[in-house]
Amino acid sequence: MTEITDELVIRGNHIKNRIVMPPMVTFSFHGDNGSYYGKQHIEHYTKRAKGGAGFIIVQATSVFGAVDSTGMWSAGDILALKQIASNCHGYNAIVMMQLHCGNLDINELSVEDVHSMQRNMKQAAIRACEMGFDGVEYHFAHGYTLCKFLDASYNHRTDQYGGDVLNRSRVLTQVLPEIRNNTRKNFIVSVRMGEYLPESRDGIEAAKTFEKAGIDLLHISFGMQPPTNPVPDGFICSPITYSGCKIKKEVKIPVIAVNEIRTEEQVRFLIENDYVDFAAVGRGMLADPDFANHVINGEPVNTCLGCERCFWFTDSTFCPAGKDE
Asked, for residue 1, whether it belongs to a domain, the answer is: no
Q: Which CATH number covers residue 208?
A: 3.20.20.70
Is 325 domain-assigned? Answer: no
Closest by CA position to 204, among listed 255, 138, 274: 255
| 2: in domain | no
Condensed to tens digits (0 to 9), the pLDDT of residues 251-304 reads: 999 999 999 999 999 999 999 999 999 999 999 999 999 999 999 999 999 989
Sign of CA dihedral 150, 254, 56, 295: positive
What SS3 class is residue 29? coil
Residue 323 counted as domain residue = no
Domain total for the chain?
A: 1
For residue 248, is pLDDT > 70?
yes
Residue 324 lies in a domain: no
Which contacts of 200-209 are long-range, i.e. CB under 8 A and separated by 24 or more positions?
Answer: 200/246, 202/151, 202/152, 202/165, 203/243, 203/247, 204/246, 204/247, 204/250, 205/165, 206/150, 206/165, 206/168, 206/169, 207/247, 207/250, 207/251, 208/250, 208/251, 209/165, 209/166, 209/169, 209/173
* Residue 33 forms part of a structural domain: yes
Q: What is the pLDDT of residues 50-60, one digit of tens each?
A: 999 999 999 99
Q: Could you tell me if residue 215 is inside a domain?
A: yes
From CA 239, how far away is CA 220, in angstroms rounded? 11
| Among 204, 192, 275, 282, residue whose Cα is nearest residue 236 | 275
Give pLDDT tens digits for 20-43: 999 999 999 999 999 999 999 999
Separation CA 82–CA 59 (nearest Å)? 14
Residue ranges making up the domain that contains 19: 8-318
Neighbour-count burial for 289-324, b at 16+ CB within 10 Å, e otherwise: bbbbbbbbeeeebbbbeeeeebbbeeebeebebbeb
Check pLDDT > 80 for residue 325. no
Give me the pLDDT at residue 323, please: 62
| 84 occurs within a structural domain | yes
Continuous H helices in the chain: 39-50, 75-90, 111-130, 145-150, 165-168, 170-173, 176-181, 200-213, 239-248, 264-272, 283-287, 291-296
